[in-house]
Amino acid sequence: MDPRIIALHCAISAVDPVARAPQTATVRTSESPEPGALADVVVDIVSDVVCPWCYIGKRKLEAALGQLETREQGTSVNVRWHPFQLNPGLPAEGMARGAYLQAKFGSKTRADEIYARVKAVGGEVGIAWNFDRITRVPNTLDAHAMIAWTQRHGDARLVDALVERLFRAFFIEGSDLSEAELTRIAGEAGLPEHAPKASAALRTDVEAEDREAREVGITGVPFFIFNGRTAVAGAHDPETLFKAIAAARAAE
């Protein structure tokens, strides 16, 4: 992860996002604040757009921030997204989903068991999954590059619209997130027509940030960091995330 944004000083293993207690750790931000870092609450999210738990985590974070606004109206929040490719070794054109599930889970029965749980938890937060429409699992490098460009040139609402649109495109519409699809998604999210396609420089930045996240010990997503002080691994319930936000603010 880019050291200008945040430096993690601990190695944190992935935890089950629902069945086990949240894993937290103390982290330290870098010396130079990034744009938006002076907000009351800064949330850094390490995520992938083809990770169902990340979509669930986004919904639960939104609920936690809703609680915060209810209790403390006017609290400023800045959310920053960071890349983590679940499948960095996939070819640029992606992989047929059937072959992917077989390679990842060993059998359709095992995959069905896992996705049944995902469907149930996602349904609780209003996500209408449509896994049957997914035919290919994409390489998400260019999707992350698009998010990175938007964070540099757009406002918070545009970034959120793009991230939400990417999740929806894959999990509900079955998009393969190809170049043509990303162009369509960008337009629907409100990105300007002059927004560039993923460049070599953006891809390099995304790969470097992904690599650094792994080097500091992030092995699973979603991974939330609040005000550069408290980290939570997994798509935990809003109250848990709210408490982590409160703990981070109390530590300042």
CA–CA gap between residue 207 and residue 141 (Å, rounded): 8
**Per-residue pLDDT tens for 84-99?**
999 999 999 999 999 9
Contact 220, 234 (CB under 8 A): yes
Q: Are strands 223-226 and 95-96 parallel, antiparallel or unpaired?
A: unpaired
Lowest mean pLDDT among 33-42, 100-109, 184-193, 198-207: 33-42
- Domains of the chain: residue spans and CATH: 23-250 (3.40.30.10)
Statement: residue 21 has pLDDT above 90 = no
Q: Average pLDDT of the chain?
A: 87
Lowest mean pLDDT among 11-20, 98-107, 187-196: 11-20
CA–CA gap between residue 112 and residue 170 (Å, rounded): 18
Of 194 and 251, more confident: 251
CA–CA gap between residue 104 and residue 111 (Å, rounded): 8
Of 1 and 223, more confident: 223
Which residues fall within 8 angstroms of residue 184, CB to CB, at 6 or more apart?
none
Of 195 and 101, more confident: 101
Lowest mean pLDDT among 2-16, 104-118, 126-140: 2-16
pLDDT at 37: 52
pTM: 0.87
pLDDT at 194: 79
